[in-house]
Amino acid sequence: MPVRRITGLGAALAIGVALVAPCPRAVAADFYQGKTLEIIASSGAGTDTYDTLSRLVGRHIGSHLPGNPAVIIRNMPGAGGILAANDLYNIAPRDGTVIGMLDQSIYETQLFKVPALHADVTKMNWIGRVISNDAVLIAWHTAAVKKIADAYSHQLIVCSTGSSSQLRWTMLDRLLGLKLKLITGYKGSSECLLAMQRGEVEAFSMPWMAFRVIRPDWLRDKKVNVLLQTALDKAPDLSDVPRLVDLAHNDEQRQILTLFSQSEKVGRSLTAPPGLPPQRVAELRSAFTATLKDPLFLADAKQMKVDLTPLPGDALQAIIDQSFDYAPAIVAKAEALIQP
């Protein structure tokens, strides 16, 4: 993203300004000097990509902020990401010392007016996206459901963590009649993986990028079947796996399924509370952009086998705003599908 620079205005004017006001860089350096930047991750430590990618960014972003603040990660799982969103919006200081990686479906939580959410994502200051999220629904090889069409006639027991997966699978069960039984209470993808191995559940969902890295042997040995992908754009190596929107039987269903797929564009993104000074928002966005171009960061990401799909903060902000542009009738029908 472009960085504003002070252009030459004449030596005399420059000297005069220097006498009456401190340099913007000096102000920024004074602000972060000796401070700590806290990143709230909306999941438990070591449980999923929200935590992993928060820590990846956290290892590098401090060196791109004036004053080089220390960076710490605070994990705040719970209520499908609502706890973290409420904390960031209502409790965190609005000065640029606290940002967060919220559940990607937090805008859906707001769109559907979930009472526990006390935040407005359109008023938050979105900093940037690390990766988009092509989540996949994966079933253990012993499950009766070998492809998604089998779930119309056979029950599939799905481990569900976080708001995104719970909303999505509840909606599919009611909109299309898929026989998905959700099991909640697990703290993240790591626990779901173990639960599937132990036979407690038959399926779970997680980003394709992450799964193919951490469990390539399961794919190689055909221990799992990839049933469905949730993004609007197919993963290049999953051309034969249907998307969520491919299951629609009519235009109305397609609009609803598209609504529930939009959160994949948000993916794993950083945001800041509302009310930050514009200069602070610009500093955080600039630091984020510089971080994702940093050779040390890129080497770190490569070692972790993370396929980056970055997006700058202003473009991300536009996606969030557009996510509320659906026709009221479609929103009402989508909301009805996820009610308890």
Residues 185 and 91 grouped into a single domain: no
| pLDDT in the model for residue 29 | 55
- 276: domain CATH number? 3.40.190.150
Asked whether residue 8 is domain-assigned, the answer is no
Element (H, E) at 313: helix 313-322
Asked whether residue 6 is domain-assigned, the answer is no
Q: Per the structure block, which two tokens stand in for 239?
A: 């051309």
Residues 35 and 121 grouped into a single domain: yes
- Count of domains forming the chain: 2
User: 3-class SS at 226?
Assistant: strand
For 120-169, write each residue's pLDDT tens digit: 999 999 999 999 988 899 999 999 999 999 999 999 999 987 667 787 88
Write the DSSP symbol of residue 243.
B
List CB contacts of 274: < 8 A, sequence separation 6 or more: 89, 94, 120, 123, 124, 125
| pLDDT in the model for residue 209 | 83
For residue 84, count CB atoms less than 10 angstroms from its CB and return exposed for 0-12, middle for 13-18, buried for 19 or more: buried
Mean pLDDT over 196-213 rounds to: 92
Nearest to 191 by CA among 45, 7, 29: 45
Residue 35: pLDDT over 60: yes
Distance, CA of 38 to CA of 99 (rounded, Å): 6
Residues 73 and 143 grouped into a single domain: no
Distance, CA of 67 to CA of 284 (rounded, Å): 12
Q: Per the structure block, which two tokens stand in for 311?
A: 């997006």
Residue 305 zone, left/alpha/beta (φ > 0; ψ -120 to 50; rest): left
Residue 69: pLDDT over 60: yes
Residues 19 and 121 grouped into a single domain: yes
Residue 156, strand partner residues? 180
Residue 262 zone, left/alpha/beta (φ > 0; ψ -120 to 50; rest): alpha
| pLDDT in the model for residue 184 | 87
Q: Per the structure block, which two tokens stand in for 20?
A: 């009456």
Asked whether 130 and 265 are in contact (CB, 8 A), the reply is no
| pLDDT in the model for residue 162 | 67
Of 246, 261, 276, the residue at which a domain comes to its end is 261
User: Other CB atoms closer than 10 Å to residue 169's CB: what's the count?
Assistant: 23
Residue 74: pLDDT over 80: yes
Distance, CA of 288 to CA of 298 (rounded, Å): 13
Residues 127 and 272 grouped into a single domain: yes
Residues 53 and 127 grouped into a single domain: yes
User: 3-class SS at 74?
Assistant: strand
- Average pLDDT in the chain: 89
Strand locations in 179-329, DSSP E?
A: 180-183, 203-207, 224-229, 268-272, 311-312
Distance, CA of 166 to CA of 184 (rounded, Å): 8
Residues 179 and 230 grouped into a single domain: yes
Of 211, 230, 261, the residue at which a domain comes to its end is 261
Asked whether residue 305 is domain-assigned, the answer is yes
Among the residue ranges 16-30, 159-173, 269-283, the one predicted with the least confidence is 16-30
pLDDT bracket for residue 14 (50, 70, 90): very low
| pLDDT in the model for residue 168 | 86
Distance, CA of 188 to CA of 103 (rounded, Å): 12
Asked whether residue 322 is domain-assigned, the answer is yes
Asked whether residue 160 is domain-assigned, the answer is yes
Asked whether residue 277 is domain-assigned, the answer is yes
| pLDDT in the model for residue 166 | 81
Percent of the chain with pLDDT over 70: 91
pLDDT bracket for residue 276 (50, 70, 90): very high
User: 3-class SS at 299?
Assistant: helix
| pLDDT in the model for residue 207 | 86
Task: Give the residue with greater pLDDT, 80 vs 283.
Answer: 283
User: How long, in residues, is the chain?
Assistant: 340
- 238: domain CATH number? 3.40.190.10
Mean pLDDT over 186-209 rounds to: 90
Distance, CA of 175 to CA of 247 (rounded, Å): 10
Asked whether residue 2 is domain-assigned, the answer is no
- Residue corresponding to tokens 């794919």: 219
Of 219, 240, 261, the residue at which a domain comes to its end is 261
Residue 22: pLDDT over 80: no
Residues 93 and 181 grouped into a single domain: no
Residues 252 and 206 grouped into a single domain: yes
Mean pLDDT over 86-91 rounds to: 98
User: 3-class SS at 104?
Assistant: coil
Distance, CA of 210 to CA of 134 (rounded, Å): 10
Distance, CA of 230 to CA of 266 (rounded, Å): 13
Distance, CA of 143 to CA of 288 (rounded, Å): 42
| pLDDT in the model for residue 210 | 84
Q: Which domain holds residue 216?
A: 135-261
Residue 18: pLDDT over 70: no
Q: Per the structure block, which two tokens stand in for 73?
A: 């990660």
Residues 125 and 273 grouped into a single domain: yes
User: 3-class SS at 267?
Assistant: coil
Residues 102 and 120 grouped into a single domain: yes
Residues 174 and 139 grouped into a single domain: yes
Asked whether residue 285 is domain-assigned, the answer is yes
Percent of the chain with pLDDT over 90: 70
